[in-house]
Chains A and B, each alone.
Chain A
Amino acid sequence: MSTFSIDVANTLAGFLVLASFLMLYQVRLPALLNMLGLHAFILAMAVAWQAYAQGAPELYVTALIALVFKAGVIPVALQRMVVRLGIHRELEAVTGIGLTMLAGIGLVALSLEVMLPVTAHADPLTREYIALALSVVLLGLLMMVTRRNAVSQVAAFLSMENGIDLAAAAAQGMPLVVEISIAFSVLIAFLVIGVFLFRIRERFDTVDVRALDEFRGERR
């Protein structure tokens, strides 16, 4: 494995972390969904590079799935949904973007600090790569925690799943069947969530998940 391909792989993974930060930073839903598309696109690039670097052709399929579904179909469908819900002009009430991003930086440092010693004897290609993948997952979780809008939570969930994919690509790939089934389960989850969103909106006239808390009586 040449240093060059390690550098490229790490840079692509780093770009994925950067895309996660860009998602954390967005407050408008359409911009957020664009970033989600970018996120998945970078993932596809990264997985494709792994396929090339490892000489593992089945990873090209994973990359293709990511490119078509995650970077193409899902963001476009979500965009349409947002327009149909009529929330594409709304600003999301996110408090403390700066603090959230600071927390995100802490998470990246944490995952590097945890993963680098653990993988000390691993393949140099995968060491920092896995650490970055873990930070993408953690950043996705952080975003799910800090957002209130159901659509952005879906986006955060999808970005988290991208992180898992990234890690899987480095670990010589999952079996293709598992990969495809995960992709389809995500798609189904997406459809179910989509249907639910419309039902939620019909009932509460909003997709702010705080409304759900109030319905369950969790607040006050």
Chain B
Amino acid sequence: MILVLVCVLALLAAGVAGAVRARVPEGRPIVYGASLGACAVAGLTGLASIGLAPSTLTLPLGLPWIGAHLRLDALSAFFVFVVNLGGAGASLYALGYARHESAPERVLPFYPVFLAALNLVVIADDAFSFLFAWELMSLASWALVVAHHRAAENVRAGYVYLIMAAVSGMALLLAFGLLAGPGGHYDFASMRAAVATPGIAALALVLVLIGTGAKAGLIPLHAWLPLAHPAAPSHVSALMSGVMTKVAVYAFVRIAFDLLGTPPWWAAVLVLAAGGVTAVLGVLYAVMEHDLKRLLANHTVENIGIIFIGLGLAMAFRANGVAAGAALALTAALFHVFNHAVFKSLLFFGAGAVLTATGERDMERLGGLIHRMPGTSFAFLIGCAAISALPPLNGFVSEWLTFQAMLLRPDLPQWGLKVMIPTDGALLALAAALAGACFVKAFGVTFLGRARTQAATAAQEVDRWSLAAMFGFAALCLLAGVLPGALVDLLAPAVRALVGQSMPAQLALPWLSLIPVAAARSSYNGLLIFGFIAASTWLTIMVVHRFASHALRRAPAWDCGFPDARPQTQYTASSFAQPLRRVFGGALFAARETVTVPPPGDIGPARIEKEIHDPIWERMYAPVGNAVWRASGTMNRLQFLTIRRYLAMVFVALVALLLALALWQ
């Protein structure tokens, strides 16, 4: 506990150092090195204290009659571990990556503060410190989003982000107000002890879903995410996508599972519906995207959907008193929290490496990087396979556990759950398959094929710090995939504290299998699957090299006899996504393609134009934005009144309030 707090203070100090020494060249290693050290210590502390009893600390800071309550229980400890794992990786990566930073004075002071705020949110134990840390996290990350403020799109992203952060903070503030009750007990311990009336609890739950959903990227509150995450420098994008969204998940779990008590069953339906829609729409947005970093950011939305499906299942089981099911579903969700933190950071590091090497984020202008950047492309490939839920990597395990949770108890009594759970099964399966399609596109267009521009031809492999960070996370993807039992056992104390039961211990099982319920029901052994794949690949290669011809000849590509030397004739990201756009886009995104072919004899080019509309932005955000704009235009007139009229307004308002008071009594 103390150790984590010391690390937070060290990070804040590093922020000050960053502000002071931003412009000198040694500022960068000092800040990122200090962040790396602090995150490593804090992360290990978190890892070590998951199984320990909760420790609390009250600091005489903040509001005088409350103080700042801090608490490190199993759930906080797990999230401290995830946050600092991501933080340490990003700092390591930044040691090399940030060398190319054009405006270090706009990044260095805020980066450690951001990390400190992320840590503070997960250890806060009263509403005031929680909201303070939450807003500090929003502000620090906003400053990082607008670090490259010369590009107009970054400024717009920062603007949208700020509005959504305000909405999120407001919803959480109201939720805590409701939870604190008329007595105004703002520390979490009293909220936990208090029993809210069903109406208040329901309202608070909806507000929490809005508040944390806006931060995590639940559709339809996701609009800022694909704008803001890519705008920041890549190591910060990794932190925002991989870690900050997880802190929002932490906030939801903390409030919905810990502070609110047992939820009603319809809340589970709400969360399941939000999760399912988010998962499928998020990946569809990603499929349509051809900016590498925006694709990754859109994909974060999908993964948040998968996590919320797990959380919704846990709520459904909890509402019906099925503790074993709740434990399984919650474990699956938290497992995916860890997984996503790892592979999304890895993928953003890879995208940053591509950006450094070529200066391009647009996949249509890349290609063939596997020859120029072998290390980056290998690590990125591992990340792509992991996020597409392919065995033996880690993404598969968490989705497998989610499916097992769905199958555990099909006999829940409420009709809403009976319809929603199988529907979510289909949506989750669809999202997983589309994720595979999306990452075939992302990897295939960026790294494979032939270079489409000069910049891609001249790319160079990135520095060792960045490669070390990427390969470290790729190794974690494999490790968590082949030894899932270790992570499940690690999560057990946190799950037990929240739902009263945990999954059976896994590490003691023979062959290190993963058996969620019973061996006859389902089991998965990542280690053996990995072993079998490795062994049979090795065997095949041995046999083929023993008996087959060794001759190998390099020749021009065959391409059915129509090879074209121009790299522009390759499949692009847009053409790769065309079948999926045609199937899903027509109904969901009003996607249209217009082909103009010149008449015979005309030597002008034929053109194909595609058009995509974002339904949520156009139907939801744009009308609200316009309404606010009009309303503020109307209010603007209030600025130009005479003094007498202002006085009259004050007078009328006073009388109206007094009248209201009189009538109330």
The chain A residues found within 8 Å of chain B, CB to CB, are 96, 98-99, 109, 113
Contacts and interface: CB of A to CB of B under 8 A. Distances in A.
Contacts of B418: 113
B595 interface: no
A99 B419 contact: no
A96 B587 contact: yes
B415 A99 contact: no
A108 to B, nearest CB: 11
Contacts of B587: 96, 98-99
7 contacts: A96-B587, A98-B587, A99-B587, A109-B419, A113-B415, A113-B418, A113-B419
B426 to A, nearest CB: 10
B272 to A, nearest CB: 15
B410 to A, nearest CB: 14
Interface string B561-592: 00000000000000000000000000100000
Which 7 A-B pairs rank lowest in CB-CB distance, beginning with the nearest?
Answer: A113-B415, A109-B419, A96-B587, A99-B587, A113-B418, A98-B587, A113-B419
A96 B587 CA distance: 8
A96 B588 CA distance: 11
Binding site of B, secondary structure by majority: helix, strand, loop or mixed? helix
Interface string B413-434: 0010011000000000000000
Q: Which among A96, A99, A109 has the greatest number of chain B C-beta atoms within 10 A?
A: A109
Interface residues of B, number: 4
Nearest to B422: A109
B579 to A, nearest CB: 15
Contacts of A98: 587
A118 to B, nearest CB: 14
A99 B418 CA distance: 20
A98 B587 CA distance: 10
A109 B419 CA distance: 8
Nearest to A113: B415
A99 B415 CA distance: 22
A25 B407 CA distance: 29
Contacts of B415: 113
A113 B587 CA distance: 29
A205 to B, nearest CB: 30
A113 B419 CA distance: 10
B279 to A, nearest CB: 17
A98 B583 CA distance: 10
A109 B416 CA distance: 11
Contacts of A96: 587
Interface string B381-418: 00000000000000000000000000000000001001
A154 B418 CA distance: 35
A99 B587 CA distance: 9
A172 B419 CA distance: 32
A115 to B, nearest CB: 13
A1 B415 CA distance: 29
A188 to B, nearest CB: 41
Contacts of A109: 419
A46 B81 CA distance: 61
B412 to A, nearest CB: 14
B434 to A, nearest CB: 15
Nearest to A109: B419
A98 B585 CA distance: 13
B3 to A, nearest CB: 53
A110 to B, nearest CB: 9
B590 to A, nearest CB: 13
A99 B583 CA distance: 12
A103 to B, nearest CB: 13
Nearest to A105: B423
Contacts of A99: 587
A192 B515 CA distance: 65
A98 B415 CA distance: 24
B462 to A, nearest CB: 44
B411 to A, nearest CB: 13
A160 B246 CA distance: 51
A98 B426 CA distance: 14
A109 to B, nearest CB: 6
A128 B425 CA distance: 24
A126 to B, nearest CB: 21
A99 B586 CA distance: 12
A109 B418 CA distance: 9
B354 to A, nearest CB: 36
Contacts of B419: 109, 113
B323 to A, nearest CB: 27
A98 B418 CA distance: 22
B427 to A, nearest CB: 12
A113 B416 CA distance: 10
A96 B418 CA distance: 26
B582 to A, nearest CB: 13
Nearest to B583: A98
Nearest to B419: A109
